[in-house]
Amino acid sequence: MDKNSVTSALTEVASALASGITLEPAQLLHAETLCLELVQNLSTQASSIADPRVAVAHAQLAEALSRQATRASIAAASTVETTAAHALHVNEFDDLRAGVTDFSAEPVFAPGRTLYQDAAETLASVLDLNYFEAAGRISDAHLVHARADISGAACAPRFTLLAEHFHHHAAPSDPDLSADSAASSSSGSAQGWSLPDLHQLADPREVLKIARALDKFEPADTTFDGSPTSATATAPDGVLLEVHAAEHLNIQQVRTRQKQLNSLVKAYKDAHGETKAPKLGLFRGPVINGVHEFIVRVRSLDAEVWESLIAQADNKRTQAGAAARQAVDASTSSANASSAGSSDSTSATGKADPEEKTDEKNTSEEKTGDESTNEQRPDDADEAIDPLWHSDDPIPDWARSDAAHPPNEDPPEPTDPPDPLAPPAPNKALPTMPSTCSIPERRLNALNAVLRNVDPDSAGKRVTPEIVVHANYADLCDLASLQGITAHRVKLSGPELRTMLCEAKVLSPIYNADGVIMDIGRDARLFPRWMKLAARDRDGGCLVPGCTTEPALLEFHHYTPWAKGGHTRLQDCCPLCTKHHVMVHSGYLKLVKIKGLPYVILPKHLDPEQVPRRNTYFART
């Protein structure tokens, strides 16, 4: 058999099965055995090909197979339970293992004591699983596949809407199309294949995760005892949590989807007091090898100060952010210098290890970040430099169009632009950043600088935390129930927000019905400053769907390039992270406007329909 004959035969088999042909049990099991062997052989061949295109396609197909295997394993576990497979006679298990079962005869069950106690024990034994893992599959089947009623027959699962997402998969191919594909494949005139759209293919593992979380809010399931139960947990709006979860599962961007699902579960726990709040305060932790650990627990209002400090310490485009990356604070005396940094026996190290892996990934994209703090620059600094966000680093040459210029800046002068990190005087140069300064260490350095730079005449650069709070106009009309959310997504209760409004400088963006900012309030002395604040407040973060880059590290792109007649105005200001900013300039991403708001069109391999989209990860509602 030649190569074309193999693909033609497989196409014919797939077309026959899709047309509704039903196999006998023995034939079905034989076919599944052959498919398993086929997948193993095909995977081995695909992994040995050095073509990167094959590698990408094989990865997508392998992921689709993995998702289908998850569905099949849960459905099989449910069938083992609802058919009372645990009660089979021991000879039936032996015949199955030997492959000599006569499916034309009725199954034989044990006359007395069964070999296995229940379905979970059966699965654990024949699948070589831990009993608790096998029992978990049965429990998962009850949630999203089928439950067993008092008679042992299959009935509806607990979460019917989630069950639809769990079993959602690509529709079977049209037999006529499959036949045409087989003919074209055999003749060599067409490729005869297509990749699954994983963005449209629900991940059953994700559905199982949210189903397990919601099941903890439900009473014990008594369906098997004769009293069927259904989902009862509701959100504050009175709608079932399952309904909200099913809606969130339709979101294509995985990070946004997971954030919404996690927020749904957390909000229910908080509202029903299922999470016990720890005590507030500053606590001494253990001393390990001379390193002192302190634990800080604060409320939402103070948490936003800490979040702001972390975000600005992570931004190396500012002098304060760069100084925070030094092993020793340059403004500290020699006595303090010997005790600064992560090697100090009196340094404070928060429990940042769990988040360090995530932050290292996020900050790997910040090498040309464009946002800085709102600190005041020295009097002799260049007044043309934006004191809030600034970067003179141009985009890479390979990503630059013929008329492209660095975003947010005028066309470059013939002379070299000034370095935004350069100190105003030679004697204030910052030391070289050590390569061993980790994320938690530089945040600690920023905190130490805030604690030490108490002298108002000190020339040392420091992080000045800034808090921006978002609240709806309808909420402002009812201060008793007023709530808000900060730029770093920290929720503030009514009393906390009212306290902030009394003590803080108020920046008040006003939106129209389409979400376009109409007014930014009176904090508009420096136009570039308020324009960027307004753009970040309007869009929340990077415009690209699914991007989770910290908003403090954004760059700002002209919708129409400056060199092509673009204007520096709010409606043309598009916040983007460094990576996606370069992708826009290189043509991989396209920007369009709809009702005055910027939208992103993803590449065709990610979005074949080319639908304009906005990032909803930072959405405040």
- Tens of pLDDT, residue by residue over 481-531, are 666 666 666 777 776 666 666 555 555 555 666 666 654 443 333 336 778
Report the 10 Å Cβ neighbour count for 605. Answer: 9
SS3 118: coil
Residue 299 domain flag = no
Residue 57 has pLDDT above 60, yes or no: yes
Please check the confidence at residue 464 and state whether its pLDDT lies above 70.
Answer: no
User: Per the domain annotation, does 499 fall within a domain?
Assistant: no
> Percentage of the chain surpassing pLDDT 70?
63
372 found inside a domain: no
Among residues 550, 559, 552, the alpha carbon closest in space to that of 589 is found at: 559
Please tell me the predicted confidence (pLDDT) of residue 332.
42
C-beta atoms surrounding 202 within 10 Å: 19
Q: pLDDT band for position 223 (50/70/90)?
A: confident
Listed range (26-35, 281-290, 423-432, 530-539) with the worst mean pLDDT: 423-432
User: Does any domain span residue 75?
Assistant: yes
- Tokens 């293919």: give the residue: 201
pLDDT, tens digit, 9 for 90 and up, residues 95-110: 999 989 999 999 999 9
The Cα 363–Cα 310 span in angstroms is 12
Contact in structure between 545 and 614 (CB atoms under 8 Å): yes
Share of the chain above pLDDT 90, in %: 31
CA distance 391 to 406: 9
Which string of DSSP letters, residue by residue, matches 550-585?
Answer: -GGG-EEEESS-GGGT---SGGGEEEE-HHHHHHHH
Q: pLDDT for 344-373, tens place per residue?
A: 333 333 333 434 444 444 444 333 333 333
Helix (H) or strand (E) run with residue 590 in it: strand 590-594
pLDDT for res 14: 87
Residue type for position 443: R
The number of residues in the chain equals 621
Structure tokens belonging to residue 274: 């299922």
454 vs 291, which has greater pLDDT? Answer: 291
CA angle 442–447–449, rounded 5-degree value: 95
What average pLDDT is seen over the chain? 74
Q: How far is CA 259 from CA 35, 84, 317, 318, in A?
A: 37, 40, 28, 30
More confident of the two residues 565 and 511: 565
Mean pLDDT on 194-222? 90
Confidence check: pLDDT of 448 > 80 = no
CA angle 122, 127, 129 (to 5 degrees): 90
pLDDT digits (tens, 9 = 90+) for 377-431: 333 333 444 444 444 444 445 444 444 444 444 444 444 444 444 444 444 444 4
Residue 147's SS3 state is strand
pTM of the model: 0.65
pLDDT class for 194, splitting at 50, 70, 90?
Answer: confident
Neighbour-count burial for 289-323, b at 16+ CB within 10 Å, e otherwise: eebeeeeeeeeebebbbbbbbbbbbbbbbbbbbbb
Rounded Cα distance, 227 and 188, in Å: 60
The CA distance from 330 to 332, in Å, is 6
Question: What 8-state DSSP symbol labels residue 190?
Answer: S
Give the whole-angstrom CA distance, residue 80 versus residue 88.
Answer: 11
Alpha-carbon torsion, ordered 210, 215, 221, 224, to 10 deg: 20
| Bridge partners for 555 per DSSP | 576
- HEC assignment per residue over 302-340: HHHHHHHHHHHHCCCCCHHHHHHCCCCCCCCCHHHHCCC
- pLDDT for position 568: 73
Across the strands, what pairs with 197?
none
Nearest in space to 375 (alpha carbons), one of 408, 441, 420, 407: 420
Domain enclosing residue 93, as ranges: 3-140+166-190
Q: Which pLDDT score, from 0 to 100, does residue 102 have?
A: 92
Q: Is residue 171 part of a domain?
A: yes
| pLDDT tens digit sequence for 290-347 | 777 888 887 776 777 777 777 777 777 766 677 766 644 444 443 344 443 433 333 3
Structure tokens at 11: 């196409």
Residue located via tokens 């995760």: 209
Instruction: List, in sequence order, every residue forming a beta bridge with 573; answer none if it has no partner.
Output: 558
> Of 187, 435, 463, whose CA–CA distance to 314 is shortest?
463
pLDDT tier at 457, thresholds 50, 70, 90: low
Number of independent structural domains in the chain: 1
Q: 90 lies in a domain? A: yes
Is 359 among the domain residues? Answer: no
Q: Is the pLDDT of residue 617 over 90?
A: no
pLDDT recorded at residue 69: 94
Range name among 23-27, 33-37, 145-149, 465-469 with the lowest pLDDT average: 465-469
Residue 46 placed within a domain? yes
Is the pLDDT at 213 greater than 80? The verdict is: yes
The contacts of residue 385 (CB under 8 Å, 6+ apart) are: 377, 418, 420
How far does CA 259 lie from the centroid of its chain? 6
